[in-house]
Every structure is written in C-alpha cells, then in structure tokens.
Amino acid sequence: MRPTPEVLIVGAGPVGLALALDLHRHGLAVRIVDQAAAPSTWSKAQAIHARTLEVFEHLGVIDAILAGGKPFRGFRAHNQAGEELAHVSLAIHGSRYNYVLSLSQRETELRLIEALAERGIEVEREVRLDALRQDDGGVEAELVNAAGEREVLRVPWLVGCDGAHSTVRHALEIEFEGFQYVSALIQADVRIEWPTPLPDDEVITYIGDDGPVAAFPLPGERRYRLIVFNPPDVDAELSVELFDQLLRSRGPTDARVSDPKWMVAFRIHCRLAAAYRRGRVMIAGDAAHIHSPAGGQGMNMGIQDAHNLAWKLALVARGRGRPELLDTYEEERRPLARDVLSWTDVATRNMTTVAGLRGPIARGLRNQMIRVMGNLGFVQSRMAQTISMLEVGYPKSSLAAESQ
C-alpha cells in the first residue's frame, strides 16, 4: 500500500524528479504527477554544469548521468569565413567536474525516473492538477486522470514544478513578470559533417551576417545540437534542408547537416515569478523563472532550486525547523534568478545586435572586439566560473546572518 504522501509534486520534468529524489533522501513520502503521457521526445536543456553534477552526486545518480553524457571543455567562435576569433576554455577550479556535461534533458529525465523507480516511487502520468485550496493545516489538491476520474487529495505540502505555464502558479495568482523577445531561435539534434576536422568536445560557433549559429556536441559520433539564432522566419516549416542551408549561409559553405532526430522552433521569454511561495505551496524551476538559453542555466537553476528547498522542507515537515525556514527558499533563490535573467538578457541582446551589423567596417570592429575580449584570461576565467554556478552563495540570507 502506498504511504500517504507528505509532499505532492506537480510536474515530472527534471526539476520535479530531482526534488522527489531529494525529498525521499531526507525521508519524506512523496507523490509526483504529470499531465503528459510520457517524457518529452525532444530535448530542451542539454548542458549540465559542475554544481548540478555535484547535486546529482548527493542524490546518488551521478554514475548514471555521467555514463550517458559527453563532457565538453571549450567554446570556439569563428567568423563566417571560418577564421577563429576566440577560443574559450570552460575548465573550472573547485570541483572534480572540470567540464560541462552534454546530456539531453530527455536522457536526464529517464535516468532520474529510473532512480525513483529503484526507490519505489513511480511517476503518475496523464494526471493533471485541476484546482488547489489550502489552509493552515494543509493543501487540498483536485487531481484528474486520463479517464476523467477525479481525486481529492489532502497533503501537508505541494510544490509546483510544472513549467512556464504552471497551473500551480496560476492557482496561487502569482504574477509572472517579464517579456517576450522579438528574436527567436530554432534548434535540432543532427549529424554534422565539417569540411575540416574540429574538436568534438567543444561548442562550435559561427557569426554570420544574419546572426550566430552554434553547434553543441552530443553523445554519439558527429552528433550536435544545432541552434540558429534569429532565423529568417521562425514560423517556417522546419526541415533538415533548412538547417543545412542556415549553417552553410552563416558558417562553412561545405558543411553538411543530416539525420535529424528532432527539430523545434520557439520564442524566448524573460520572466520571473513575483513570489516563490504562498503558505504551504511553493514553485520551482520554469514555474518560477524562464530566460534565454544563453549560458545553459535554466534546467541547472531549477534543479538547484529543488536542492535548496528539499532540506528546508524536510526539516519543517518533521518539526525540526521553524516554518520561517521556508521563507529563505525565496529569499535565497529569487535574487539569484533575477541576476541570471539580467546577464542572460544582456547576452541575448548582444547576439541580436551582432546579427544587425552590416558592412565590412562594422563586421571588422565586431570581430576584433570578440578577438580581444574572448582571449583575455580573466574574461575566460570569469565566464567559466559563472557558467559552472560553483560560486553561487547567499551572503545576504537571513540564515547567514543567524550563523554569525
């Protein structure tokens, strides 16, 4: 017989799955539901940074994650003619994970689902949250399954990890403040044949007259996540021919794209929830913040939200921590998200500016600026440390003040 859950998790993406593992590690009974019939067939996030790998180590899933992924250690930027403008090392100090791990979100989810199953926790599919109500003693959630059967479940706590269109956030009437960019992007999981040998453990970027295109290495021979920023028509039908044409128009003219596993187009948003908690209900991951994919921070941020929340919720649920401890979840994580939204916004706007440059003088100045800035040692070090998320701390947290 399934134990009565202490926490209901709505959403079984990487954030909800990681939270379920973390809460179970702390001894709480959890139930996790998702309205989708299965994990996503196409990959959203791909980069797993050092701090998140450390979290996976704490959760006991690091071996499975590393076994499926592919490390990459650098970033190369070229102009449209193929001349190298900058080579940035992503090597970092302070962690055994001295790289970025390339592993699709789908594969990450499958490994987390398997880990939960080993612990006796199954994701309940095609179950949606229809409504929630709460009082001082708990949360009442109305769940509806694929057959239309309704269940009213009362739990002490509920966490919404249900993405950008979060039902939980809407039920709490929390504003999702921000905007949608004019620019967009398209991406695909493809095979790329380069005209000359290129390192298969580095991100390869070309900056053409119409904007940048980037190829992120994936597990598998010559497999890449190909991302095209500012495509001419984001609403155009996607095809391997389109990606092939865009890569060759912005990069090497004799590169070849083939064998797509999936292709997708989407608009980019920059939004931050006005609050992360209302009483006994919290939100995490994309339900709380969404931003440009610059820097590959999104999934990593969400998993680290879950890691921050789990131990606090466990202490409060067991009566070993004051309820005010949960206030520090938003106090610590929301300012961090605001900072990430800020610098990814700057990076996104810079990419848009680059795409708008025309004429040999403007392009020459752009290329020279990239050469100078991209090859400065302190710039490289700062970029690698920021992306790795190893320097995340909460010096202004009330918990830090109490410990002094």
What is the model's pLDDT at position 132? 97
Contacts for 236-244 with beta carbons within 8 Å, 24 or more apart?
Answer: 238/186, 238/188, 238/263, 238/264, 238/265, 239/263, 240/188, 240/190, 242/186, 243/186, 243/188, 243/190
Partners of 269 in the β-ladder = 180
Sheet holding 124-125, edge to edge: 124-125, 30-34, 7-10, 157-160, 281-283, 277-278
**What is the pLDDT at residue 366?**
65
* pLDDT in the model for residue 364: 66
Domain coordinates in residue numbering, the chain:
7-46+104-175+274-347, 179-268
**2 Ramachandran zone, left/alpha/beta (phi>0; psi -120 to 50):** beta
In this prediction, residue 28 carries a pLDDT of 98
User: pTM of this prediction?
Assistant: 0.92
Question: Which numeric CATH code is attached to 179-268?
Answer: 3.30.9.10
Q: Which of 189, 224, 221 is nearest to 206 (CA)?
A: 224
- Residues 91-122 as b/e (b if ≥16 CB within 10 A, e otherwise) read ebeeeebebbbbbbbbbbbebbbebbeeeebe
Q: Which pLDDT belongs to residue 179?
A: 93
Q: What CA–CA distance (Å, rounded) separates 34 from 145?
A: 10
Per-run averaged pLDDT (10 residues), the chain, 404 residues: 86 98 98 95 84 96 96 88 84 83 94 98 98 97 97 98 98 96 88 92 88 90 91 85 95 95 90 98 98 82 98 97 96 94 81 62 64 57 64 78 58
Which pLDDT score, from 0 to 100, does residue 372 have?
A: 55
Helical segments of 199-297, H only:
240-250
Fold of the domain built from segment(s) 7-46+104-175+274-347: FAD/NAD(P)-binding domain (3.50.50)
